[in-house]
Amino acid sequence: MISFDSRRKIFNLSNEEYSYYLHVNKLGYLIHLYSGERLDDITLERVNERYIERYAYFDGQKEVCDESYYFSGQGSLFECGANLTSDLRGAYAIIEHTDKSKLTDFRYYSHEIINGKVNPEGLPHFKIHSNSEAETLIITLKDVKEEIYLNLYYTIFKKKAALVRFSKLFNRTDKSIFLERLASIQFDFVNKNYELISIHGQWGNDKELEVTPIGHSKIVVNDNHGGRGFRQNPAIIIKEKDANYDFGEVYMFALVYSGNFKFEVGLDEYDQGRLIALINDENFRYEVKAKETFVTPECVLIYSSKGINKATQTIHDFTRENLLPEKFALKERPILINSWEPFMFDFDTEKIKKLILDAKELGIEQVVLDDGWFGKRNADNSSLGDWEINKNKINLKEVIDFSHKNGIKFGIWVEPEMISPDSEIFKKHPEYALCDSTKNPTLLRHQMVMDLTNDEVINYVFEQLKNLFDNYNIDYCKWDFNRYFSEIYSSFLGREKEGEIFHRFVLGSYKLLDMFTKRYPNVLLETCASGAGRFDLGMLFYSPQIWGSDETNPYSRVMIQFATNVFYPLSTIGAHVSASNSLSMQDKIIISAFGTYGFELDPAKVSDEEKKQIIEFNKLVKQFHHIVTLGDYYVLSSPYKTNFASWMCVTKDKKEALVFNFNFKREQTKGRFIRLKGLNPDKYYFNSLTNDVYKGDFYMKVGINISAPLKEGMTMLFVIKEVNTIAKTVLNHKANQVKREKLL
Question: What distance in Å separates the CA atoms of residue 409 and residue 476, rounded to the nearest whole number?
Answer: 8
From the list 480, 536, 587, 632, the catalytic residue is: 480
Check the CA dihedral 489-490-491-496 and report its sign.
negative
DSSP E strand stretches across 259-332: 261-267, 272-279, 286-288, 293-295, 299-304
Read off the DSSP letter of residue 483. -
Closest Cα partner for 312 from 718, 18, 631? 631
- 66 included as an active-site residue: no
Question: What distance in Å separates the CA atoms of residue 290 and residue 205, rounded to the nearest whole number?
Answer: 46
Three-state secondary-structure class, residue 172: coil
Question: What distance in Å separates the CA atoms of residue 386 and residue 462, rounded to the nearest whole number?
Answer: 12
Please count the other Cβ atoms lying within 10 Å of the Cβ belonging to residue 401. Answer: 14
545 half-sphere exposure, CB direction, 13 A CA radius: 32
Question: What distance in Å separates the CA atoms of residue 279 and residue 274, rounded to the nearest whole number?
Answer: 17
Q: Is 395 exposed, middle or buried (0-12, 13-18, 19+ CB in 10 A)?
A: middle
Closest Cα partner for 49 from 36, 35, 68, 32? 68
- 480 included as an active-site residue: yes
Q: Is 17 left (phi over 0), alpha (psi -120 to 50) or beta?
A: alpha
Question: What distance in Å separates the CA atoms of residue 340 and residue 600, rounded to the nearest whole number?
Answer: 7
Three-state secondary-structure class, residue 208: strand
Closest Cα partner for 567 from 208, 249, 117, 92? 208
From the list 246, 550, 602, 697, the catalytic residue is: 550
Give me the active site residues, please.
Answer: 480, 550
